[in-house]
């Protein structure tokens, strides 16, 4: 199974652990996305990338661009023949639906963020203060994913903790909307494997959409839409270390154009399959 080097949240120490905590707080989700876990293999690179991005998360600029991106993709997904989730217990259904919503928000934020990071290097701002010491922005910490009473979300399981049946299903799902052999595994599938019944339903829902070519086209459209959202409002970024471009640039471009760009419409289709939140899970 395609995997890339990362520093798992459970293994983060010192400076990386502090940055992870800040990333979770600022993005308003209880997990750290694969982008940052991969960059953490060189802590100095994660440090400078987060210093460049954090002010734009705090200002709401990236959130506004991400919201536009989600609206564009949602309009496309709205016309898809998405089946409803079945045979999923109420508590698992509520928690999995909440998790998918968090990934949808985080993926759209990180997609436009990568568009700016990987764009022209001419627009730069002065270096920012230590991101792990900055105050959390009010706009994002009041996000819907932080509302009291949301279902408890399990930690991201390690691959070695999963049964072979779940690993095989993740492998099949991860191939959806890929133009070639996948270079990495989308974390959402791995996270949803915490509920094997949910992961089985995810394959049942997404399979027909993939067979019709809808997921491939949506990935391409999401990539174009992300570029359009970023170009409409260029952001001045703090300078990045050369290692970001030399060691991570090509991989992150693939991450942006393929992995995240496919997972935003996929996540929105799954949100439709779960349906509206239930007040009293069965």
> What confidence tens digit (pLDDT) does each residue in 61-100 have?
999 999 999 999 999 999 999 999 988 888 899 999 999 9
Nearest to 68 by CA among 220, 214, 226, 215: 226
CA atoms of 130 and 268, how far apart (whole Å): 34
Does residue 60 form part of some domain?
yes
Token pair of 278 as six digits: 């239930």
pLDDT (0 to 100) of residue 141: 31
pLDDT (0 to 100) of residue 282: 41
pLDDT (0 to 100) of residue 280: 44
Does residue 4 form part of some domain?
no
Alpha helix (H) ranges present in 130-257?
138-141, 164-174, 187-192, 196-211, 214-232, 242-243, 249-254
Does residue 58 form part of some domain?
yes
Does residue 282 form part of some domain?
no
Long-range Cβ contacts of 32-35 (<8 Å, 24+ apart): 33/106, 33/107, 33/110, 33/187, 34/4, 34/6, 34/184, 34/186, 34/187, 34/255, 34/259, 35/110, 35/114, 35/252, 35/255
Does residue 149 form part of some domain?
no
pLDDT (0 to 100) of residue 87: 81
Low-confidence ranges of the chain (pLDDT < 70): 1-2, 120-149, 277-282
> What confidence tens digit (pLDDT) does each residue in 128-161 have?
555 555 444 333 333 333 455 678 899 999 999 9
pLDDT (0 to 100) of residue 139: 37
Q: For residue 131, give its domain range.
A: 9-144+161-274
Does residue 79 form part of some domain?
yes
Does residue 155 form part of some domain?
no
Q: Say which residue the tokens 């239930």 belong to.
A: 278
pLDDT (0 to 100) of residue 2: 66
Q: How many domains does the chain divide into?
A: 1
Three-state DSSP string of 40-92: CCCHHHHHHHHHHHHHHHHCCHHHHHHHHHHHHHHHHHCCCCCCCCCCCCHHH
Nearest to 101 by CA among 260, 281, 268, 273: 268
pLDDT (0 to 100) of residue 121: 54
Token pair of 3 as six digits: 């995997």
């Amino acid at each position: 199974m395609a995997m890339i080097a990362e520093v798992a949240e459970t293994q983060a120490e010192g400076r990386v652990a502090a940055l992870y905590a800040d990333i979770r707080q600022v993005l308003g989700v209880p997990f750290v996305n694969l982008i940052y876990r991969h960059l953490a293999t060189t802590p100095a690179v994660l440090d400078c990338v987060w210093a460049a991005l954090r002010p734009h998360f705090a200002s709401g600029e990236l959130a506004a661009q991400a919201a536009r991106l989600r609206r564009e993709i949602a309009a496309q997904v709205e016309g898809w023949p998405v089946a409803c989730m079945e045979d999923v217990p109420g508590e698992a259904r509520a928690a999995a639906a909440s998790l998918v919503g968090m990934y949808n928000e985080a993926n759209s934020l990180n997609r436009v963020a990568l568009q700016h990071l990987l764009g022209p290097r001419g627009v730069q701002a002065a270096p920012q203060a230590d991101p792990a010491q900055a105050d959390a922005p009010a706009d994002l910490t009041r996000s819907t994913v932080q509302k009291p009473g949301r279902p408890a979300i399990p930690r991201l399981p390690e691959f070695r903790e999963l049964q072979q049946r779940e690993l095989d299903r993740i492998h099949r799902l991860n191939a959806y909307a890929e133009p070639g052999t996948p270079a990495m595994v989308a974390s959402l599938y791995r996270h949803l494997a915490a509920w094997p019944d949910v992961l089985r339903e995810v394959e049942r829902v997404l399979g027909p959409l993939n067979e019709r070519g809808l997921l491939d086209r949506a990935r391409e459209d999401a990539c174009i839409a992300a570029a359009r959202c970023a170009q409409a409002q260029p952001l001045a970024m703090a300078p990045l270390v050369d290692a970001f471009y030399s060691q991570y640039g090509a991989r992150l471009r693939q991450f942006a154009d393929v992995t995240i760009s496919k997972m935003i419409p996929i996540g929105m289709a799954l949100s439709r399959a779960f349906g509206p939140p239930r007040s009293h899970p069965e």
